Amino acid sequence: MSELMCVDDLKDQQIRGKNAIVRVSFDAFDKEGNIQDSLRIEASEGTIRALKKLGAKRIILMCYAGRPEGYDPSLSMRPAANFLYGLFRERVHFLPAVNGGKIIPYGDYVKRAKEYMEKGMEDGEAVLLDNLRFWPEENKGDEEFAKSIASLGEIYVQDGFAQAHRLGNATVGPITKYVKIKVMGVQFKKEVTYLKAVSENLLKEGRKPFIFIIAGKKVETKPGIVSKITVASKLMDNMKRGDTVMIGGAIAYPFIIARKFGATTPSIIDMRSVIGDSFIEEEQVYDHMKMANEIFSKAQKNGIEVMLPIDHVIKSNDGIKTVERIESGMMAADIGEKTVNEWKNKLSDGGTIVLSGPVGWYENPVFAAGSLEITKAIAKTTAGGTVTVAAGGDTSSMVRKFGYDRNFSLLSIGGGATLEFLMQGRLPVMDVLDVKQMIKVRGG
């Protein structure tokens, strides 16, 4: 694979005095419009500083958030602009998508942006556009919308790794047809570098064990969403004897049911005899059991160990306690101490560890111990040379909350994008970015 061009590879004559359009991932808001975790916004710092240092005339930041139908003030990008001001200690401009409470047609919005950049901004300053999904043309991949946004600059920088797997969006794929230079941002390069190393390490002979931890609340088998179980199954095709898949959180319960009942079809009541009141997606649980049995079969065939929790921290009418068997009236919300110790022993031998999701309800301090201990154990292996990846924004936020963000090789800002990269070994958007030879031929 040819080496992709990064923003910090640009020469002075290619960037100085020109406008750079930067695709970022600032989708980090709750329903009230507050920033839940600033990791995705902070991740853009390296690219923005590089563009300033290289002498970019204007830095146009753009992204989308949520799935609004029309204008939704709780999904406005203004809070991100305010946060960037605090990060850089200098003005970051913001252009709202509305005027008098009504969405401005995108053609008029782009015209207004050009006028504002010419009259209201100094050289080297950044401006954040409003949520691109306020215009339905973004999701539709509309070519005219892409062309209009592209007219704001001469250079396209892809730094929005969390959304980079959505090539059909107008400002991810189509926009690259209308700019001269298309390069990676600093964060995007970091993500690709580490995830490529993970993919390549899988294929090496004589390597140390690969450990993939899939956890979280939902299996996610909806169209357009990459399932963690599907990724695990795909990775197992290249995993070797001695590698391990650990399954925690609520994702573990369909596996526990499948291990108990095999290929039979138990009733929901029968399932509840094994997992009590623990969370499962009942309308999809039979599909999830089928996927679990496929994982068990592939693991047995290839000599891969699948580790499920052997004890659980549960909530019941009798309070909070740890049990090895979940019974009726119990709701499991964390892995128990025996599981933690068993998994920690296995993690200490890992050469590559990917953590995708919390193994318990970590937001509740009562059920946070398992996720904390597993995070701490993974962080400890990094110092010994293990490549450690927190896969996705939610997982990375958890690692940051526990204070181990500096002890992981990579805190990925993209859950779906990370999983898709691990499954495919690349992302489609990489095919529309420039390689270094292309830039040399063009000469800027």
Q: Where are the domains of the chain?
A: 7-187+428-442, 209-385
Report the top-level CATH class of 209-385: alpha beta
Nearest alpha-carbon partner for 186 in 308, 328, 318, 7: 7
- For strands 312-316 and 331-335, give the pairing: antiparallel
The pLDDT score that the predictor gives to residue 183 is: 96
The pLDDT score that the predictor gives to residue 225 is: 58
Decide: pTM greater than 0.75: yes
Cα 390 from chain centroid? 9
Mean pLDDT of 241-255: 94
The pLDDT score that the predictor gives to residue 46 is: 94
Using the predicted structure, report yes or no on whether residue 282 has a pLDDT greater than 80.
yes
Query: Of the ranges 150-164, 285-299, 393-407, 423-437, which one carries the lowest mean pLDDT score?
Result: 423-437
Mean pLDDT of 258-262: 94
Query: Of the ranges 22-31, 143-152, 339-348, 432-441, which one carries the lowest mean pLDDT score?
Result: 432-441
Residue type, 202: L
pLDDT band at 314 (very low <50, low <70, confident <90, very high): very high
Question: CA 360, CA 375: separation in Å to the nearest integer?
Answer: 12
- On average, the pLDDT of the chain sits at 91
For residue 266, the number of C-alpha atoms closer than 13 Å in the C-beta half-sphere is 22
Question: CA 108, CA 93: separation in Å to the nearest integer?
Answer: 18
Q: What are phi and psi of 328, to 5 degrees?
A: -55, 135
The helix or strand, by DSSP H or E, that contains position 292, with its residue range, turns out to be helix 285-302
Query: Of the ranges 85-89, 161-165, 217-221, which one carries the lowest mean pLDDT score?
Result: 217-221
Using the predicted structure, report yes or no on whether residue 30 has a pLDDT greater than 90.
no
Mean pLDDT of 87-102: 90
Question: CA 40, CA 79: separation in Å to the nearest integer?
Answer: 13
- For strands 102-103 and 98-99, give the pairing: antiparallel
Sheet holding 331-335, edge to edge: 319-323, 312-316, 331-335
Read off the DSSP letter of residue 182. E
What CATH number labels 7-187+428-442?
A: 3.40.50.1260
Q: Is 209-385 the same fold as 7-187+428-442?
A: yes
Using one digit for the tens of pLDDT, what is the confidence trace for 191-233?
Answer: 999 999 888 888 888 899 999 999 988 776 554 556 788 888 8
Question: CA 334, CA 107: separation in Å to the nearest integer?
Answer: 51
